[in-house]
Amino acid sequence: MEKLSGSLENVVFHNDENGYTVADLDADGEMVTVVGHMVTVELGTHLTLLGKWTNHLVYGRQFQFEHYRVDLPTTEEGLIQYLGSGLLPGIGPKTAAQIVERFGQETLRVLDDDPSRLLEIPGIGKKTLSRILGAYQDQRDIRKVLIEFQEYGVSSKMAMKLYNAYHDQTVAILLEDPYRIVRDIRGVGFKAADQLAEKLGVDKDNSKRIQAGVVQALRECYAQGNTYMNEGELIARAQTLLGVARETVEGGVRDTIISGGAHMDDLDGKRIYYPMGLYEAEDATALMLTQLAESHFQTDAIDVGEAIDRYERHMAITLDEAQRNAIKTAVEAGLVVITGGPGTGKTTIINGILNILKSMRLSVQLAAPTGRAAKRMTETTGEEAKTLHRLLEYHYDDNALTPTFERNGDNPLELNALIVDEASMIDIVLMKSLLEAIEEGTRLILVGDADQLPSVGPGNVLSDIIESGIAPVVRLTRIYRQSEKSQISVNAKAINEGRVPRIDNQSDFVLIPEKNQEGIEQTVLDLLGYRLKDNAGIDVVHDVQVISPVKKGLVGTIALNQKIQSILNPASPRKNEHTFGPVVFREGDKVMQIRNNYQMKWQDTLTFEEGDGVYNGDIGTVKQIADDKHQMTVAFTDGRDAVYGFDQLDELSHAFAMTVHKSQGSEFPVVIMPMIGGSPLFLNRKLLYTGVTRAKRMIILVGRPEHFIRMIQSDDSRKRKTGLVFRIARYRDLLS
């Protein structure tokens, strides 16, 4: 690494939360732009930076540093600049000059060893002295942490995270247990902790390391969608991660359970292991679902059958027996599941339930897991639907690894009924939080398509509830959303039943044969470039969504997004753009938030309401890129604007193409879906069904017909490891 020293003369940008800084450094009379992470930025501070020179496409030559050290000034002129920079409250340039004139080269020694002597300076009293010493102590602690960690090769970015968590105790805490950072600091994983521990001299067989490795191995449940892990799988994964003997891992597993870092249970005679958070979520969910399902409501004040008749007359529709049963059950039961594919009338039923419950003067709330699903629910019912996070009034704490909710058992939702759409997307952790906020006497109505892909997060909640038999389940099978020529709903039903539908390419269900990925890619681009526009009059920018089964490869979302951007939003002198790693963001680009950010500020462009939180899967358009402010504004489809610093752009991806998983909870007028070969554990019927059912007006599949057939015939999707059904059965036995 190269070294650069100088005085901090100008701060262009500084993010207080993560320390990302762009500044100008006076290096021997030459003004240099430096970029990296700093705990604090005070003008006049003397710094030594370690990093490399880079050439930015827009900003030119700059020094990108990974480590930095605060160098205390040695000259009287430097001391005056340092003390008078605003670093210490109550000391301006004039007072700084008086201090240095009084103590000369001994100034910093006085601050360190005999600070009461500052009272000799006119204008400095006891209160000001106290403020000065507090700030100076903080600066000294920061310098100490930075200096000590640089010896271990810790970057300034990581050092800032550590200091913000532990302050002056940072070094002592990490020397005792460097693996604490995995538990305490958001965004720090086992690998980073293990690298730090190695530099600190921690032995590979250290018990704290082994326990941290066991916990990390169990965390793979989150990525795999499972809530628990079998014993053999846990031992094997932990052994691979830690590189130690099996006996050592087995001892670590026992210690982890004793210390409360994991939970061991028995399922069908087999020993299983949970991450503690998932065990608590699953067990609490099972108990609360069992209790909720015991509730039944008397409806003597209203004839439900007659109320359904009135709803039919008002809407000029005729409900079938399953639909009438769904509405009646939702009015009378504490917990009910309504499930069915596209076009089976789920929206009609939601409106019917809403109509009758409101006629009974009951308070009803609509909700959905994502902003897109909530917006669609609002549009189809005329009533406000909230995201579950907003409904539960999430609260973000910098010191917590996960957000908490203001609505809980101590502050429950004051509702008579809650209707949740797209319930298949709810994972076990969110379901636990939702149930905690529902007080006795509230109806919970879960609506969704149990045949879609399960939630991105761990668990298989909707399907497990159905399988458990804990609640009445109404299955809708008859298709209503169908014109004479529409085949989307009909073919989706056939796919879901394992039947290969007949495709004549004369309707809204189209299959374009292509032999290889090169042909698939070109066909997708041609459809967007001219074929759809010329032949169907479709607005390819707003109406069409490309959905791919994969991220990588020629027809993966990464490559397709780059190609589609050049077609739908090409470069122009009238459009600002910003390069972030391999991605070029451009004004007018379609983008998606790819992780939950509970702190992100937003403003509603219509009501001017302000709030916090942008969530994984939220879609928007790049509205403005402001180079001078180092920020980018995204206008989300629900009317909110959010401003991203350039260092936050790793939270966004292009959304011209998205994966099938990311498309869940959304509907698009036209969907184009590439089909490729691969493992039936992944490229299977459930994936195909989920992709097809995202389309409202037209679905265009591109690829080999045999791949289409193989996906339909493959019902080998990997069943998630969850214990919810077992736990519900156990609680039902205990409470009966």
74 within 8 A of 99, measured Cβ to Cβ = no
Q: φ and ψ at 72, to 5 degrees?
A: -75, 140
Shared-domain flag, residues 127 and 238? no
Type and span of the H or E element at 45: none
SS3 per-residue string spanning 188-252: CCHHHHHHHHHHCCCCCCCHHHHHHHHHHHHCHHHHHCCCCEEHHHHHHHHHHHHCCCHHHHHHH
Q: Which amino acid is at 259?
A: S
8 Å CB contact between 716 and 681: yes
* Cα R_g (the chain), whole angstroms: 30
Place of tokens 């001299």: 201
Shared-domain flag, residues 524 and 654: yes
719 is in an annotated binding site: no
As a whole number of angstroms, the distance between CA 463 and CA 476 comes to: 15
User: Across the chain, how many H-helices and E-strands are there?
Assistant: 28, 30
Assess whether 577 and 463 both reside in one domain.
no
Give the domain-ending residue among 451, 480, 509: 480
Buried b / exposed e along 325-357 (16+ C-beta atoms within 10 A): bbbbbbbbbbbbbbbbbbbbbbbbbbbbbbbbb
The 3 state secondary structure assigned to 661-726 is HHHCCCCEEEEEEEECCCCCCCCCHHHHHHHHCCEEEEEEEEECHHHHHHHHHCCCCCCCCCCHHH
> Do the Cβ atoms of 518 and 554 come closer than 8 Å?
yes
- How buried is 121 (Cβ within 10 angstroms: 0-12 exposed, 13-18 middle, 19+ buried)? middle
**What pLDDT is stored for residue 55 in this prediction?**
84
407 and 541 belong to one structural domain = no
Q: What is the pLDDT of residue 485?
A: 60
Asked if residue 721 is part of any domain, the answer here is: no
Residue 133 lies in a domain: yes
120 plus 203 within the same structural domain: no
For the record, the structure tokens of 28 come out as 């021997």
In a domain, 506, yes or no: yes
Half-sphere exposure of 80 (CA within 13 A, CB side): 12
pLDDT for the residue 612: 83
611 is in an annotated binding site: no
346 assigned to a ligand binding site:
yes
Check whether residue 452 and residue 506 sit in a common domain. no
Q: Which two tokens stand for residue 302?
A: 């209203």
Amino acid residing at 384: E
Domain-embedded: residue 22: yes
Last residue of a domain, one of 275, 304, 331: 275
**Could you tell me if 423 and 558 lie in one domain?**
no
Q: Is residue 714 part of a domain?
A: no
On whether both 127 and 15 belong to a single domain, the answer is yes
**Which one-letter amino acid corresponds to residue 714?**
S
The pLDDT of residue 85 is 67
Token pair 């010493």 is at which residue?
133
Task: Provide the 10 A C-beta neighbour count for residue 521.
Answer: 20
Count how many domains the chain has: 4
CATH number at residue 412: 3.40.50.300
476 and 491 fall within a common domain = no
**Residue 617 backbone zone (phi > 0: left; psi -120 to 50: alpha; other: beta):** left
Give me the helices (H) in 452-592, please.
Answer: 461-468, 488-496, 517-526, 532-536, 557-568
Low-confidence ranges of the chain (pLDDT < 50): 399
- Are 731 and 287 within 8 A, CB to CB? yes
Give the pLDDT of residue 11.
87
Tell whether 281 is covered by a domain: no
The order of strands in the sheet holding 695-703 is 509-513, 695-703, 668-675, 544-548, 657-659
Question: Is 693 annotated among the ligand-binding residues?
Answer: no
Q: Could you tell me the CATH number of the domain that includes residue 132? A: 2.40.50.140
**Pair 194, 141 in one domain:** no
- Asked if 47 and 117 sit in the same domain, the reply is yes
CATH number at residue 206: 1.10.10.2220
State the Cα–Cα distance between residues 575 and 565, nearest whole angstrom: 13
Phi, psi of 499 (to 5 degrees): -100, 140
Domain membership of residue 576 as a residue range: 487-703
Crossing angle (nearest 10°) for helices 156-166 and 126-150: 130
Q: Which residues contact 440 (CB under 8 A, 6 or more apart)?
A: 291, 295
Sequence-distant (≥ 6) Cβ neighbours of residue 643 within 8 angstroms: 601, 631, 632, 633, 634
Beta strands in 74-154 (DSSP E): none
Residue corresponding to tokens 């521990």: 197
Rounded alpha-carbon distances, angstroms, from residue 532 to 48, 520, 539: 58, 15, 8
- Shared domain for 523 and 407, answered yes or no, is no
Among 110, 125, 152, the domain-final residue is 152
Q: Which residues of 41-50 are buried (b: 16+ CB within 10 A; e: fewer)?
A: bebbbbbebb
347 is in an annotated binding site: yes
What DSSP state is assigned to residue 287? H
Q: 11-33 in b/e burial notation, b at 16+ Cβ within 10 A?
A: eebebeebbbbbbbbbbeeeebb
Q: Which two tokens stand for residue 546?
A: 């490309």
CA distances to 117, 269, 291, 328 from 727, rounded to whole Å, are: 69, 14, 13, 28
The count of C-alpha atoms lying within 13 angstroms of the C-alpha of 651, restricted to the half-sphere facing its C-beta, is 24
Considering all CA atoms of the chain, what is the largest pairwise distance in Å, rounded to the nearest integer? 94
Q: How many CB atoms lie within 10 A of CB 432?
A: 24
The pLDDT assigned to 423 comes to 96
CA atoms within 13 A on the CB side of 247: 0
Could you tell me where the DSSP H helices lie in 259-303? 276-293
The verdict on residue 162 lying in a domain is no
Let me know if residue 164 belongs to a domain. Answer: no
| Partners of 337 in the β-ladder | 446, 473
Residues 153, 143: contact at Cβ < 8 Å?
no
Work out the number of other CB atoms within 10 angstroms of the CB of residue 645.
Answer: 15
pTM of the model: 0.79
